């Protein structure tokens, strides 16, 4: 077998193995905010909440920009979601992969989301957030950004 055929065979095998380990895969048909998307799986929409991160709410400072950043990264693309369960609203919680990138990490690295410390187990996310904060990237350009969990608590009172 020549080298090019071997490379094609290896690439196809890796793709199949990657798909076998994925919990779900489909086209992103909606972006609700900076950390929630709708993925079309077997002709049914599945709501996915990006794990371990928390983006500003739509009506909060920077909420629109976070939604735009997530849209740019995933809208209309086929993504893979590595599920870590579901939340009390029935959304799938997971790590979203698109174009070979971890979108959860991308959002934090671009300063479009905080690490949701209550649910995070990924040290790399904290490092990305620290770098974004130090570089005053995205929401970190604001001297006192309000974390989404605090913004939600203020709205409840």
Q: Which residues are catalytic?
A: 49, 57, 91
Per-residue pLDDT band for 128 (boundaries 50, 70, 90) equals: very high
Q: Considering only CA atoms, which of 55, 79, 80 is closest in space to residue 68?
A: 55
Q: Would you say 111 and 132 are in contact if contact means Cβ atoms under 8 Å apart?
A: yes
Query: What is the percent of the chain where pLDDT is above 70?
Result: 86
Alpha-carbon gap, residue 102 to 67, rounded angstroms: 16
β-strands 44-50, 53-54 pairing: unpaired
Residue 138 reports pLDDT greater than 90 = yes
Residue 125 reports pLDDT greater than 80 = yes
Residue with tokens 């196809």, as numbered in its chain? 12
**76-123 pLDDT, tens digit each:** 999 999 999 999 999 999 999 999 999 999 999 999 999 999 889 899
Determine if residue 52 is left, alpha or beta; phi over 0 gives left, psi from -120 to 50 gives alpha, anything else beta.
left
């Amino acid at each position: 077998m020549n080298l090019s055929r071997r490379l094609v065979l290896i690439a196809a095998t890796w793709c199949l193995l990657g798909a076998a380990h994925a919990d779900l895969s489909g086209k992103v048909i909606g972006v609700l905010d900076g950390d929630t998307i709708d993925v079309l799986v077997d002709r049914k929409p599945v709501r996915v909440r990006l794990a371990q991160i928390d983006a500003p709410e739509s009506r909060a400072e920077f909420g629109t920009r976070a939604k735009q950043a997530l849209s740019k990264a995933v809208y209309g693309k086929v993504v893979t979601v590595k599920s870590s369960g579901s939340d009390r609203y029935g959304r799938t919680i997971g790590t979203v992969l698109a174009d070979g990138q971890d979108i959860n990490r991308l959002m934090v690295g671009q300063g479009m989301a905080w690490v949701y410390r209550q649910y995070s187990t990924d040290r790399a996310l904290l490092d990305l957030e620290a770098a974004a904060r130090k570089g005053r990237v995205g929401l970190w350009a604001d001297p006192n950004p309000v974390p989404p969990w605090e913004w939600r608590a203020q709205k409840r009172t």
